[in-house]
Structure 1
Amino acid sequence: MSRRPIIGLAATAAAAALVLSGCSGGAANDDGDPSGEITVLTNRTDLVDTTFKDYAAEFEKQYPGTTVKFEALTDYEGDAKIRLNSKDYGDVLLIPSSNVTKDQYANFFEPLGSTEEQSKTYRFANEASFDGTAYGVSTFGSAMGYVFNRDVWTKAGITEPPATEEEYLAALEKIKANGSIPYYTNYKDGWPLATLEGNLGATQGPKVRTEMIATDSPWTEGNDQYDIDGLLFDTVAAGLSEPDPTTTNWEESKNLLASGEISSMVLGSWAVSQMQDAAEKAGESRDVIGFWPMPWKTDEGFTSVTASDKFLAVSKYSKNKATAKAWIDWFTNESGFAASQGAISPVISDPAPDTLADFSDLGVTYLELAPDPVGKEAVINDIANAAEIDLFGNTYRQKLIDIARGAADGDKESAFADLNERWAAARADVAE
């Protein structure tokens, strides 16, 4: 099947190595040959003793005299936040997304070159940059949409992706009538709710973050923030999600989707291969798992926002930066990790993954957000923090779900009015 390219041409993996090898120094064994031991912090507790162990062996074979050890953190964001309060957070780590703002990158991470140079080889370089300097390299990228059980949707008579929220909710009603739970929030684990923010830009376009810091009311109809949280609220309020969200379980959700007990979840395309694996283990065809774009089709067609998952960074306090940088280079360019996850490779020259076959057939347009204006990279986080709205977290969306299901006071109008009021007040404070 022919596949639509996501982004254009790129440099080679060898060039990528040159990009990283040109990083700035500042510590023992920084610019020398890779040698010695490094510790890599990871959130992939499921891979640390299998796939990652094999990766370490391959790296150590390529760089004799090196040793790679892993620390897998179950609550990565929470544990990493604690570790960052010390100088002991490994040599290579994933940049925490919910508690480190871009203007703080230089306090914790080693520069990896200019954003301009990194962008010639790697996708998403802007996302891990501040003031023209890149501090991280993407592990892989995803396109936003929703993963679904194709058999369940076909049985309900839905063979094409809904184009509007109204069509989407009507489709979920048909699925519910057939006995499946239409949508699964993953409320209890929480972090899947944070991924919903990845849809920012779907209708407003690539400069949405710049527009958002210039408005007092993002949760107003016509804005992406309203669409993202409104779709979640309306789905839950209509009784189209799991009966008790406080008992959800991420790992089990894969099996529930594969079996058809639940029908869909809004996630990045990185999730497709995990759901396919679950289907295969259950004796189902991998093809039972599909991935469709969000129901916000315009005259130009469907759009999916692409963004990075976590970013690999080198600790500012690493005593072995040469080996740490070599690991990031090898992991990015030679491990095949992105392909194994069915995800978008951070290396621009790599092909699109098979997990986006549905998108290719639909002619979905891919959109990568524009970089924040220089000097304003941290403003959106500053406003959100001052407003006590964890925009890139899950707490406020859990509150929205509670309101929508009647477990907390309020309604959609009052909830969004409160968010807008807090955002406006915080924006005024940040601007002062």
Structure 2
Amino acid sequence: MNRRTHRSPILATAAGAALLLAGCTGTGGSTKGADAKAPDDPAKVSGTITVLTQRTDLVQDGTMKKYAAEFNRTYPKVKVKFQALTNYESEVKIRMNTENYGDVLMIPGVIKKSDYPKFFASLGTREERAQKYRFTDFTTVGGKVYGQSPIGVTPGFVYNKRVWKEAGVTQWPTTPAEFLDDLKAIRSKTGATPYYTNFAAQWPLTSWTFVNGSVHCDTRATTKLADGDPWAAGADLRVGDQLLYDIVHDGLAEKDPTTTNWEASKPQLAKGKIATEWLGTWAVIQFQDAAKKAGTDPGDIGFMPFPAQVDGKFCAVVGPDYNQAVNIHSAHKEAARAWIDWFTDKSGYDKDNLAISPLKDAPLPTVLKPYEDAGVKLIELDDSAGAKVKLIDDQSEVGINKPDYRQDLVDLARGAKSGSLDGFLNGLAKKWTEAQKSVGSGS
């Protein structure tokens, strides 16, 4: 969700998160409930808008400028400026203590869902927008929608098909145990690092939370986080965390996670020096591009679902990437809304990134053709309990969408931290369930 060019959605930095969660409500009180209405006549829309983005790569290589030029064919009187932020979450979080956080921005994961109306202008009603767009529940507060993702993503393993084949593995593993066996075969039969944690970059570790829903193909997985124990035996998050622990504990990851390098991992996987990384569909094109630059076959880059099946079928959760929103303090809300609508509907950003379109009637991207061929079931999670989950996460200080606890998990697995896995996960569960009691059923 700069994704060190692109990273998973809903990520929040750990350091200083309490500043915004506990103390900052912005200065949006005077404009609470404001709408950013869609313009009727593009020729009459004017103003200069600033778009905040984590896509430093696309700003640096001129891609965003090209999008803006296309946008100006429809909206000639709107000037679009981009501000690319390397540490998007932490930088925007600080700026949101003022009114100066751009005209269009991605909603940071640190913002409480219930606070969206304080910071962002409404894009319309859920009833209206849900007819056309996916993921509307994720930013709906009080029946109004406050953000729209330009792409949908599904988590999965980016892998080098050639390396896996050299290890004798030609079928996707269907259980965590099979997955571990396959990584062991890669270790013994190839020169590749079977799995790469991206520990040092931190944010990729949060992608393991998006296992939730896939293990049991459960659209109500978010509700179970709100009302149950995420680390109970067999629960989705425990299954995912157990697998990550076992990978590291069994010596199937890089020797020193603290020296990992996200950008360097792309050409290394493309060349077959790394076999596998848990990321998302958004990453595939970046690894394919790395293969082209490295002179290797982009067709070697594959994508596989989490190793779990229900009734003989894999399942994968489809969710929004960062949601774009209009700053409630923007002096050019109409122009900002025009940008969001155009970028979502007409920019081709989804196709350029081999991503899932947020438009309900759009076909799936080619990167998911193997999923279609294998009959992988794609589901969207019910996010009606999403706000409660964030409150529980905040109060428990577990941080399911922050990297800290999984860095601790990796350190535990490699012997850099003392304790047992059961003790560690049971400790998380205790903090989580105690926070549930304080949040209560009405939150």
CA contact (8 A) 2:198 2:204 kept: yes
Partner of 2:227: 214
Query: Which of residues 28, 32, 53 is equivalent to 2:65?
Result: 53
1:250 & 1:416 partners in 2: Cα distance? 27
For residue 152 of structure 1, report the CA deviation from its aligned partner: 0.3
Cα 1:386–1:63, aligned 2, differ >3 Å: closer, same or farther?
same
For residue 25 of structure 1, report the CA deviation from its aligned partner: 5.2
2:425 & 2:386 partners in 1: Cα distance? 25
Query: Which of residues 266, 278, 287 is equivalent to 2:299?
Result: 287
CA contact (8 A) 2:215 2:308 kept: yes
For residue 27 of structure 1, report the CA deviation from its aligned partner: 8.4
2:90 & 2:55 partners in 1: Cα distance? 15
For residue 401 of structure 1, report the CA deviation from its aligned partner: 0.6
Task: Say which SS state the counterpart of residue 323 (structure 1) adopts.
Answer: helix
Bigger Cα displacement from structure 2, 310-319 vs 52-61: 52-61
1:328 aligns with 2:340: yes
1:74 aligns with 2:90: no
CA contact (8 A) 1:138 1:311 kept: yes
TM-score by length of 1: 0.90
After superposition, give the CA deviation of every residue in 1:231-270 in whole Å (9 maximum; x if it has no partner). Answer: 1111111111111111111111111110111100111111
- The one-letter amino acid paired with 2:399 is D
Query: Which of residues 145, 152, 156 is equivalent to 2:156?
Result: 145
1:34 aligns with 2:45: yes
1:125 & 1:157 partners in 2: Cα distance? 43
Partner of 1:250: 262
Task: Say which SS state the counterpart of residue 38 (structure 1) adopts.
Answer: strand
Partner of 1:16: none
CA contact (8 A) 2:123 2:146 kept: yes
1:94 & 1:113 partners in 2: Cα distance? 17
- The one-letter amino acid paired with 1:365 is K
Task: Say which SS state the counterpart of residue 183 (structure 2) adopts.
Answer: helix
After superposition, give the CA deviation of every residue in 1:262-285 in whole Å (9 maximum; x if it has no partner). Answer: 100111111111111111111112
Gaps spanning 5+ residues in structure 2: where? 1-32
1:255-274 → structure 2 map (5 Å cutoff)? 255-274=267-286
1:101 aligns with 2:112: yes
Task: Say which SS state the counterpart of residue 378 (structure 1) adopts.
Answer: helix
CA contact (8 A) 1:28 1:320 kept: no
Query: Which of residues 377, 399, 404 is equivalent to 1:395?
Result: 404
Cα 1:90–1:151, aligned 2, differ >3 Å: closer, same or farther?
same
- The one-letter amino acid paired with 2:160 is N
CA contact (8 A) 1:148 1:263 kept: yes
Partner of 1:181: 193
After superposition, give the CA deviation of every residue in 1:23-71 in whole Å (9 maximum; x if it has no partner). Answer: x856899888320100000000000131100011111232122100000
Partner of 2:174: 163
For residue 100 of structure 1, report the CA deviation from its aligned partner: 0.7
Query: Which of residues 115, 118, 121 is equivalent to 2:129?
Result: 118
Partner of 2:390: 381
1:28 & 1:365 partners in 2: Cα distance? 36
For residue 193 of structure 1, report the CA deviation from its aligned partner: 1.1
Query: Which of residues 84, 89, 109 is equivalent to 2:101?
Result: 89
Partner of 1:6: none
- The one-letter amino acid paired with 2:69 is A
TM-score by length of 2: 0.88
CA contact (8 A) 1:102 1:128 kept: yes
For residue 426 of structure 1, report the CA deviation from its aligned partner: 1.2
Cα 1:356–1:27, aligned 2, differ >3 Å: closer, same or farther?
closer
- Matched-pair identity in %: 43
1:351 & 1:30 partners in 2: Cα distance? 27
2:429 & 2:226 partners in 1: Cα distance? 12
CA contact (8 A) 2:201 2:260 kept: yes
1:407 aligns with 2:416: yes
2:35 & 2:153 partners in 1: Cα distance? 34
Bigger Cα displacement from structure 2, 40-49 vs 115-124: 115-124
Task: Say which SS state the counterpart of residue 389 (structure 2) adopts.
Answer: helix
Bigger Cα displacement from structure 2, 377-386 vs 195-204: 195-204
For residue 371 of structure 1, report the CA deviation from its aligned partner: 2.9
1:282 & 1:103 partners in 2: Cα distance? 46
Task: Say which SS state the counterpart of residue 47 (structure 1) adopts.
Answer: helix
Cα 1:240–1:28, aligned 2, differ >3 Å: closer, same or farther?
closer
CA contact (8 A) 1:344 1:353 kept: yes
Cα 1:29–1:348, aligned 2, differ >3 Å: closer, same or farther?
closer
Q: CA RMSD in A?
A: 1.7
CA contact (8 A) 1:183 1:265 kept: yes
Task: Say which SS state the counterpart of residue 39 (structure 1) adopts.
Answer: strand
1:31 & 1:386 partners in 2: Cα distance? 44
CA contact (8 A) 1:269 1:355 kept: yes
- The one-letter amino acid paired with 1:212 is L
CA contact (8 A) 2:215 2:306 kept: no
- The one-letter amino acid paired with 2:66 is D
2:244 & 2:184 partners in 1: Cα distance? 15
1:340 aligns with 2:349: no
CA contact (8 A) 1:38 1:323 kept: yes
Partner of 2:326: 314
Partner of 2:429: 420
CA contact (8 A) 2:149 2:320 kept: yes
Task: Say which SS state the counterpart of residue 227 (structure 2) adopts.
Answer: coil
Partner of 1:14: none
- The one-letter amino acid paired with 2:402 is G
1:347 & 1:421 partners in 2: Cα distance? 40
For residue 410 of structure 1, report the CA deviation from its aligned partner: 1.0
- The one-letter amino acid paired with 2:221 is V
For residue 174 of structure 1, report the CA deviation from its aligned partner: 0.6
